[in-house]
Amino acid sequence: MRRALALAVTALGRTSPNPVVGCVLLDPGGATVAEGYHRGAGHMHAEVEALAAAGHRARGATAVVTLEPCAHQGRTGPCADALLAAGVARVVYAVPDPVPGHAGGAERLRAAGVEVVGGVLREEAERANELWLTATRLGRPCVTWKFGGSLDGRSAAPDGTSRWITGHEARADAHTLRATHDAVLVGSGTLRADDPHLGLRHGVEGKPPLRVVLDRTGGIRPDARVLDDAAPTLVVVGESAAPPVLPHGHAVLTLPEPGGRLDLTALVKALYERGLCSVLLEGGARLAAEFAAQGLLDRVVAYVAPVLIGGEGRAVLDGFGAGTLSEALRLRLDEVARLGDDVRMVLRARPLPGGPEPEEVS
């Protein structure tokens, strides 16, 4: 199963709106017969790719797959039917399929006499597919807030300088993180202060995410770097604004603005309806505070440098205020890694929706 998970995550950032899935076929003696993973919408599912590679050797084999084989007819046929047709004798999967109308593959296999084991390494598999699972279960994109800051929580010095608080390794890792998401989002303050490009650098390959800019008044400059042709950009404006005229390939989304602020709930709903399962929130401090206050933050990835700025330096979070400690948003620290002189922490605001269930054995 860990090998299947390793195969699955090689496609992170390329399969949306589908999940990442890996599959390993084993012969009766436990030797690997074939492997496969899902490469993206329109491509073969992991099980079908592995079966195609195995040919007649699939008969009597065990299929180890990270997600319950589907029972759904979409662009490709049901994986449960493909496994049955190939003569697979046993199926082991990690995570039940949460999509209504897609689940039922395990029961179809059992009904046909195939031995089925579910829930194996489920927690690890949930993490590997976290972005897609969160979006599927909540009906909105999984939102990750990424920031780089000093040890005392500053993203810039009092004079506005911020390049570079963190080191090269941390910045390169942040671009790898960006490449795994469907969209990268900033607010108008970051747009004006930094004129970010929001593309992929540091040698990171993959499809650049959709660039989303929240610009309530529609004042984005026509020469803003996010309006080049490196990737599409979605400019989000308020309903009271005149939609800006953008270069070809970019688009405008108009949202309600209750209280003079863009409706973030409407935003994540609109992004999900566009097929986006994950959003990386990169700026700024007030926007992150609004997402946190509205319960829309799922993960935080923090790059912390061994630097003290103090004084009137720009805070990484601005506007989210707990009146007392009991009102603070407590996060669960799940991962810590050293990147050069910096530390990367991955924290989660809540358990992954629909937590692991007891292992099922037929």
**Confidence grade of residue 9 (pLDDT, cut at 50, 70, 90):** very high
Among 101, 128, 155, the domain-final residue is 128
CB atoms within 10 A of CB 146: 21
Q: Is beta strand 360-361 parallel, antiparallel or unpaired with respect to 233-238?
A: unpaired
> Would the annotation count 162 as a binding residue?
yes
What is the band of 102 on the pLDDT scale with cuts at 50, 70, 90? low
- In a domain, residue 135? The reply is no
Query: Is residue 239 among the annotated active site residues?
Result: no
What are 231-264's pLDDT values in tens digits? 999 999 999 998 898 988 899 999 999 988 999 9
d(CA 22, CA 171): 29
Return the pLDDT at 342.
96
Do 157 and 97 share a structural domain?
no
Same domain, 111 and 147: no
Residue 353 reports pLDDT greater than 60:
no
Residues 194 and 331 in one domain: yes
Q: What is the pLDDT of residues 144-168, one digit of tens each?
A: 999 999 999 888 888 877 788 899 9
How would you class 22 by CB atoms within 10 Å of its CB: exposed for 0-12, middle for 13-18, buried for 19 or more? buried
240 annotated to a ligand binding site: no
Q: Where does a domain end: 108, 128, 148?
A: 128
Residue 297 lies in a domain: yes
Q: How many CA atoms lie within 13 A of 264 on its CB side?
A: 20
Q: Is 361 a member of any domain?
A: no
Per-residue pLDDT at 206 exceeds 90 = no
User: Does the annotation flag 201 for ligand binding?
Assistant: yes
Give CA–CA dist 43/179, Å, rounded.
Answer: 20
Residues 273 and 315 in one domain: yes
Considering the candidates 47, 49, 68, 130, report the single residue annotated as catalytic: 47
Question: Averaged over 45-58, what is the pLDDT?
Answer: 95
Lowest mean pLDDT among 57-61, 320-324, 328-332: 320-324
CATH of the domain at 122: 3.40.140.10
CATH of the domain at 198: 3.40.430.10
Highest mean pLDDT among 97-101, 317-321, 328-332: 328-332
For the beta carbon of residue 87, count every other beta carbon within 10 angstroms: 13
Question: Is residue 23 annotated as involved in ligand binding?
Answer: no
Query: How high is the mean pLDDT of the chain?
Result: 89
- Which tokens hold the place of 276? 């986006």
* More confident of the two residues 236 and 313: 236
pLDDT at 190: 86
Are residues 279 and 183 part of one domain? yes
Last residue of a domain, one of 128, 150, 182: 128
Do 156 and 231 lie in one domain? The reply is yes
Same domain, 149 and 250: yes
| Block residue for tokens 């540091």 | 202
198 annotated binding-site participant:
yes
Q: Spell 226-258 as b/e; 16+ CB within 10 A means b.
A: bbeeebebbbbbbeebeebebeeebebbbbebe
Q: Which residues make beta-bridge pairs with 185? A: 212, 281
Classify 135 as helix, strand or coil.
helix
Rounded to 5 degrees, φ, ψ at 323 are -70, -25
75 in a known ligand binding site: no
The answer to whether the CB of 213 falls within 8 A of the CB of 191 is: yes
- Please indicate if the annotation marks 79 as binding a ligand: yes
What is the spatial distance between Cα 296 and Cα 322, in angstroms, rounded to a whole number? 17
Q: How far apart are the C-alpha atoms of 68 and 47, rounded to whole Å?
A: 10
Is residue 253 within 8 Å of residue 235, measured between CB atoms? Answer: yes
Note down the domain range covering 299: 140-348
Query: Does the pLDDT of residue 196 top 80, yes or no?
Result: yes
Whether residues 117 and 163 fall in one domain: no
Structure tokens at 248: 């070809």
Instruction: Tell which residue, 141, 183, 335, has the closest CA to residue 133.
Output: 141
Q: Total structural domains in the chain?
A: 2
User: Do residue 31 and residue 151 come from a single domain?
Assistant: no
Say if residue 356's pLDDT is above 90.
no
| Residue 359 maps to a domain | no
Per the DSSP assignment, residues forming a β-bridge with 235 are: 213, 252
Residues 112 and 194 in one domain: no
User: Does 226 reside within a domain?
Assistant: yes
pLDDT of residue 75: 65
In a domain, 91, yes or no: yes
Is the residue at 165 inside a domain? yes
For residue 74, is pLDDT > 80?
A: no
Q: List pLDDT tens digits, range 78-101.
A: 899 999 999 999 999 999 998 876
The answer to whether residue 83 sits within a structural domain is yes
To the question of whether residue 277 is assigned a binding role by annotation, the answer is no
Domain shared by 105 and 168, yes or no: no
Does residue 149 share a domain with residue 69? Answer: no
Backbone angles phi, psi at 113, to 5 degrees: 95, 10
